[in-house]
């Protein structure tokens, strides 16, 4: 079951804020060095490793005199700005002790759902790995707004695993495995293997993370689901057992693949974006988009909801309001109402050739 981790040529490792920082919210050098030692050993054994690391906001708390993670976006961005440099400097120093170089990669969801940006992110990461570096990936908290946030780095790690075509994903937490109830409860049982969603029936997951992080066990289960659905073996364990997990030892919980690889950018579109609006489709358009995988044309749209710009993600919903797909729209919300129910040829004749394009092209559309 863990052979895939041992044999993996590319591995993504994710570590959370609470695994890197002490009680005062500052980076705990000993914890960070222990993590780096484990990752470096795997890298020096010939495996390409991408490290998805939280901790920028947490690392900025102490220097800014903040006791807990701020709630407002502006202060979060300020803390990230202060903490990001300290975090990367700490990684560079620790990996440098092993003769390895790190490369910082900061992402927002917007960076990797738009086609050109996605290709650039993938090319950059591939080149960093080819050059033997350890890319350190984090959400770009300094500029990310609520609309373009991943929300947690567990999901980001699963999506990065798709982006770099990783063979395995290791999610590091404060807890050494997934249990069928709160680990502190007497009799709580560790789940050694999760072969599919049915194995999670009856599992009670509580808690939303620590005072310095945003994720909890729920986000890790969701991230494992994203990764395994595309054929990536996932291991969940504590940061203290990172070396054992990477060596394929029987630690933590292993989530077995339930599907096969699929186009990565569409996974980002489905899992990393927040829709800015909705397009209501008639039955014919739903059939074309869902059944025949066609592009969405204005003739099949009956209503426009929300305010969005060209290139923004929108949900495509049926007459009952059920979301059937998500896509990147080619028109702003204020442009669409006069176009509804009309053919592209009629629009091109009356408004110009620029209106002969799809509202959502099938290459920028994912079924939900």
Binding site residues, as ranges?
14, 54, 141, 153, 173-174, 214-220
DSSP 330: S
DSSP 232: -
Q: How far apart are the first and last CA of the chain?
A: 30
Joined tokens for residue 11: 């591995």
Residue 223 to residue 359: CA distance in whole angstroms: 31
CA distances from 313 to 109, 113, 227, 295, 364 (A): 11, 9, 22, 15, 9
CA distances from 323 to 87, 199, 208, 270, 307 (A): 40, 27, 27, 12, 17
For Cα atoms 100, 166, 97, give the angle at the middle one, nearest 5 degrees: 10
Q: Which residues are annotated as a binding site for substrate?
A: 54, 141, 153
Residue 5 to residue 17: CA distance in whole angstroms: 24
What is the DSSP secondary-structure string of 110-126? HHHHSHHHHHHHHHHHH
Under 8 Å between Cβ of 42 and 36: no
CA distances from 325 to 217, 295, 313 (A): 27, 11, 10
Give the HSE-up count for residue 136: Cα atoms under 13 Å, Cβ half-sphere.
26
Q: Which residues are annotated as a binding site for ATP?
A: 14, 173-174, 214-220
323-328 and 365-367 as β-strands: parallel, antiparallel, unpaired?
Answer: antiparallel
Phi-psi region for residue 75, left (φ > 0), alpha (ψ -120 to 50) or beta? alpha
């Amino acid at each position: 079951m863990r052979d895939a981790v041992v044999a993996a040529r590319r591995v993504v490792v994710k570590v959370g804020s609470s695994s890197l920082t002490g009680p005062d919210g500052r980076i705990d050098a000993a914890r960070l060095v222990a993590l780096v030692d484990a990752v470096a050993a795997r890298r020096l054994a010939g495996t390409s490793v991408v490290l998805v690391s939280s901790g920028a906001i947490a690392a900025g708390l102490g220097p800014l005199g903040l006791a807990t993670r701020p709630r407002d976006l502006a202060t979060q961005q300020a803390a990230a700005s202060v903490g990001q440099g300290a975090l990367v400097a700490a990684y560079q120093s620790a990996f440098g002790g092993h003769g390895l170089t790190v490369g910082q990669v900061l992402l927002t969801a917007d960076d990797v759902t738009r086609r050109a940006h996605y290709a650039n992110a993938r090319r950059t990461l591939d080149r960093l790995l080819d050059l033997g570096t350890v890319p350190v990936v984090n959400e770009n908290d300094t500029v990310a707004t609520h609309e373009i946030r991943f929300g947690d780095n567990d999901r980001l790690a699963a999506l990065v695993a798709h982006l770099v075509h990783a063979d395995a994903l290791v999610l590091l937490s404060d807890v050494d495995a997934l249990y069928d109830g709160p680990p502190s409860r007497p009799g709580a049982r560790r789940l050694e293997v999760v072969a599919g969603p049915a194995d999670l029936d009856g599992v009670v997951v509580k808690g939303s993370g620590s005072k310095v992080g945003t994720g909890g066990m729920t986000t890790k289960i969701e991230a494992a689901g994203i990764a395994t659905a595309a054929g990536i073996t996932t291991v969940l364990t504590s940061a203290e057992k990172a070396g054992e997990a990477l060596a394929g030892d029987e630690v933590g919980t292993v989530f077995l693949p339930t599907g096969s690889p699929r186009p990565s950018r569409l996974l980002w579109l489905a899992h990393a974006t927040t829709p800015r609006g909705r397009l209501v489709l008639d039955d014919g358009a739903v059939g074309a988009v869902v059944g025949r995988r066609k592009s969405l044309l204005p003739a099949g749209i009956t209503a426009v909801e929300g305010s969005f710009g060209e290139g923004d993600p929108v949900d495509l919903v049926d007459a009952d309001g059920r979301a059937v797909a998500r896509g990147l729209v080619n028109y702003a919300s204020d442009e669409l109402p006069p176009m509804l129910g009309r053919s592209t040829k009629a629009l091109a004749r009356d408004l110009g050739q620029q209106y002969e394009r799809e509202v959502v092209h099938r290459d920028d559309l994912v079924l939900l």
